[in-house]
Amino acid sequence: MSTNPVTYQKKELPGSVTSMAATATIAGLILVLLTYWLDHSRGLFNNIIGLSVMASVSVGALFYVALEYLSGAVWSTPFRRVMEFLAASVFGVILLAIPLYMNLHEVFLWTHVDALARDTVLLNKTPYLNVQFFFIRGAVFAGLWLMFYWVLTRNSRKQDATGDQSLTRMNIRFSTAFMPIFAITITFFAIDWMMSLEPHWFSTIFGVYYFSGTVLAALAVATFIIVSLNERGYLVAGLKKDHYYSLGTLLFVFTNFWAYIAFSQFMLIWYANVPEETFWFVSRWRNGWQYVSYALILGRFIVPYFVLLSQPSKMDVRKLKFMGIWIFVAHILDIYWIVMPSFSRSLVLGWQELGFPILITGLIGLIFVFKSKRENLVPIADPKLQRGINFRL
């Protein structure tokens, strides 16, 4: 049984959060429906952006839950629930995938039988890129994510009630199984939904590229929520700048990791200079897309790098919250930069692109509020909780 002397008084999130999230969901939904009505295929491409960002936040958050169990980290235990609630957004991923599955033909060139007949390169890729296998993969990925989400959070929740410490050990085993599955599913998710938009193009590092953005986006959203909640006393007392510093350092590290991977992908393709690879970057370097590329370098690497570089700024509450939002937006920009040049060779940017980001922000918020009403915001019976609170660098 639990012997944690931790005192935690559950506080309900204020109603303003619920109404804000609901407003964002409704406003986003209206914009999305309007986009679909006016320009159906533009809506679909934006849907892929929404789907990928949603998957980043939810599956990325599940990755952090598993990572904490697997590495035996204690510092993140007091706010692991935030990650678990974010991981619940995996239901939203399935929701967002439905309109795409109904309109695959409008988005993916490799579904066009006439295009395949003329194109040996695509024809040779059909063993992987075919509609049946695509459906199967999607179903398997969603199933795996849901299963691990369900197992990991259920055990954590059960521990709150029973205080059974063996549940932690059980979760460590499930996390061990989840890690390779996460690596494979997130890679093929990226290949299926984003890389296959240009079915001739290939980059062996693309899965890692999406992974680096994913872990960064999930961490950014979580950092914003954790800092905001802790400031208002919704989490357990005793979380100090040591915890903030760890969050800031992780954000900084993954910002560098993203830049490293992004530049590796660019440089190898640039150096080899093979037309079947370079065209992907060339199309992102002209017709207005180059400004998005500049914005991506600036917004996803240079600004977060210099804001988070110094030690004090890694524990600065204001900067952490700001960077949380900033990096989340930068991740949306990143996915937009990957997806939209396949829709139009010249820059498209308008209110149509706002619908899905607003919708998923609202959805994540609603799911978070829904989960927080039913569960504690702190895993009160976790054996690592007290050590996590006492954590000092």
Partner 1 sequence: MDKKILYSITALFDTPDGIIHAAEEVRRAGYKKYDVHTPYPMHGMNDAMDLKDSKLGFITLAAGLLGGAGIFGFVTWVFVKDYPNVIGGKPYFSWPAFVPITFEITVLSAVLVTVGALIAFFFKFPNNSHPLHDTLYMKSVSSDKFGISIQADDPMFDEEKATALLQTLHAQSVQPVYYDEEELTRSWSTFDPKFLLLLAGVAIIVSGATYVTMNILLYLPPFDWMSNQNKFKPQSTTEQYSDLRMMRPSVEGTVARGFMPYPYHGNPDAAGKNLVNPLPASKGVIEIGRTKFLTFCSPCHGNFARGDSRLRGQFPNPPTLHSDKVRNWPDGNIYHVITEGQNIMPSYASQITRDERWAIVHYVRTLQRAFNAKESDQQ
Interacting residues toward partner 1 by CB under 8 A: 263, 266-267, 270-271, 273, 309-312, 392-393
∠ CA 76-80-83, nearest 5°, is 120
Q: Are 111 and 122 in contact (CB under 8 A)?
A: no
Instruction: For partner 1, give the closer residue by CB, 37 or 271.
Output: 271
**SS3 of 253, please?**
helix
Give least dist CB 388 to partner 1, A.
16
Least Å from the CB of residue 263 to partner 1: 6
Q: How far is the CB of 313 from partner 1 (least distance, A)?
A: 11
d(CA 386, CA 77): 9
Q: Nearer Cβ to partner 1, position 103 or 293?
A: 293
Q: Cβ distance 363 to 260 under 8 Å?
A: no
C-alpha 384/C-alpha 85 separation (Å) is 19
Is 23 or 311 the residue whose CB approaches partner 1 more closely? 311
Task: List C-alpha distances in Å: 86 to 34, 82, 317.
Answer: 28, 6, 21
Nearest distance from C-beta of residue 216 to partner 1, angstroms:
19
Phi, psi of 273 (to 5 degrees): 60, 40
Give residue 123's Cα distance to chain centre.
Answer: 32
The nearest distance, CB 264 to partner 1, in angstroms, is: 9
The distance of closest approach from Cβ of residue 389 to partner 1 in the complex, given in angstroms and rounded to an integer, is: 15
Query: In this complex, which beta carbon is closest to partner 1, that of residue 256 or of residue 376?
Result: 256
- The closest alpha carbon to 47, from 206, 197, 204, belongs to 197
- In the complex with partner 1, the residue whose CB is nearer, 166 or 310, is 310
C-beta of 120 vs 273, nearer to partner 1: 273
CA dihedral 52, 57, 63, 67 (to 10 degrees): 150
Other beta carbons within 10 angstroms of residue 294's beta carbon come to 11
**Is the CB of 1 or the CB of 272 nearer to partner 1?**
272
The CB-of-318 to partner 1 minimum distance in angstroms stands at: 18
SS3 204: coil
Count, residues in the chain: 393
Dist. CA 269–CA 278, nearest whole Å: 6
Our CB check for partner 1 shows the closer of 204 and 273 to be 273
Q: Give least dist CB 245 to partner 1, A.
A: 11
